[in-house]
Amino acid sequence: MSILAAGYQGRLDRRRYFERTLGTLAALGILYWLGINFAKSPSQFFQASLIGLSNGVLYALIALGYTLVYGIIELINFAHGDLFMLGAVFSANFMSIWFGKNHSGVVGWGFFFACLLAVMTFCGGLNVVIERFAYRRLRRAPKLAPLITAVGVSFILQFIGLRWNGSGQKTWNSMLPKGAIEISNVKIPYTTILSFVITVPLLLLMSWIVTRTRQGKAMRATAQDQDAARLMGINVNRTISFTFALGGALAGAAGLLFQQTRGLTSYNLGYQLGLIAFTSAVMGGIGNLQGAVLGALLIGLIQGLNDGLPIGLGQQWSQTVVFSILILLMAFKPTGLLGKTVTEKV
Amino acid sequence: MSALLEVQGLQVAYGSILAVKDVSLTVNEGEIVTLIGSNGAGKSTTLRTISGLLKPKAGTITFNGERIDGKEGHEIVAKGLCQSPEGRRIFPRMSVRENLDLGAFLRTDKAAIEVDRERVLELFPRLRERIEQKGGTMSGGEQQMLAVARAMMGAPKLLLLDEPSMGLAPVLVDMIFETIVKIREQGITILLIEQNAAAALDVADRAYVLESGTIKMSGKASDLAKDEAVTKAYLGG
Which CATH code is given to the segment(s) A41-332?
A: 1.10.3470
Please give, rounded to a whole number of angstroms, the shortest distance from the CA of A122 to a CA of chain B. Answer: 29
- Check whether A41 has a pLDDT greater than 90: no
Q: What is the pLDDT of residue A164?
A: 94
Q: What is the pLDDT of residue B157?
A: 95
- Check whether A5 has a pLDDT greater than 70: no
Confidence category of residue A35, pLDDT binned at 50, 70, 90: confident
Please give, rounded to a whole number of angstroms, the shortest distance from the CA of A242 to a CA of chain B. Answer: 16
- Decide if B74 and A234 are in contact by the 8 Å CB cutoff: yes
Q: At what angle do helices A236-262 and A214-224 cross, to 10 degrees?
A: 110
Q: How far is CA A326 from CA A8, A249, A271, A320, in A?
A: 30, 27, 18, 10
Nearest CB to B102 within list A221, A340, A346: A221
Q: What is the pLDDT of residue A106?
A: 77
The secondary structure of A245-288 as a DSSP string is: HHHHHHHHHHHHHHHHHH-EE-TTHHHHHHHHHHHHHHHH-TT-
Q: Helix count (H) and strand count (E) of chain A?
A: 12, 4
Nearest CB to A233 within list B78, B93, B136: B78
Instruction: Tell me how crowded residue B237 is: count the other CB atoms within 10 A of its CB.
Output: 10
Q: What is the pLDDT of residue A331?
A: 82
Q: What is the pLDDT of residues A291-342, one digit of tens each?
A: 999 999 999 999 998 888 877 787 888 888 888 888 888 887 888 888 765 4
Residue B176, C-beta contacts closer than 8 angstroms, at least 6 positions apart = B144, B145, B148, B164, B165, B168
- Decide if A344 and B52 are in contact by the 8 Å CB cutoff: no
Low-confidence spans in chain B with pLDDT less than 70:
1, 237
| Residues A276-297, mean pLDDT to the nearest whole number | 92
Helix, strand, coil percentages in chain A from 3-state DSSP, rounded to 5: 75, 5, 20
C-alpha atoms less than 13 angstroms from C-alpha of B46 in its C-beta half-sphere: 37
Q: What is the pLDDT of residues A150-190, one digit of tens each?
A: 999 999 999 999 999 989 898 888 888 888 888 878 888 88
- Decide if B103 and A220 are in contact by the 8 Å CB cutoff: no
Q: Where are the domains of chain A?
A: 41-332
- Decide if B154 and A232 are in contact by the 8 Å CB cutoff: yes
Work out the percent of chain A whose per-residue pLDDT is above 70. Answer: 95
Nearest CB to B105 within list A224, A233, A344: A233
| Residues A10-39, mean pLDDT to the nearest whole number | 83
Nearest CB to B91 within list A224, A233, A235: A224
| Residues A210-223, mean pLDDT to the nearest whole number | 93
Residue A340, φ and ψ in degrees, nearest 5: -100, 140
- Check whether A11 has a pLDDT greater than 50: yes
Q: What is the pLDDT of residue A119?
A: 96
Residue B12 DSSP SS3:
strand
Residue A58 is classified by DSSP as H
Q: What is the pLDDT of residues A252-264, one digit of tens each?
A: 999 999 999 988 9
Instruction: Tell me how crowded residue A179 is: count the other CB atoms within 10 A of its CB.
Output: 10
Residues from B contacting A (CB-CB < 8 Å) are 51-53, 72-74, 77-78, 82-83, 85, 89-94, 98, 101-103, 105-106, 134, 136-137, 139-140, 143, 150-151, 154
Q: How far is CA B53 from CA A235, B124, B224, in A?
A: 12, 28, 30
Residues of A in contact with B73 (CB under 8 A): 227, 230-231, 233, 236
Q: What is the pTM of this model?
A: 0.89
- Decide if A233 and B101 are in contact by the 8 Å CB cutoff: no
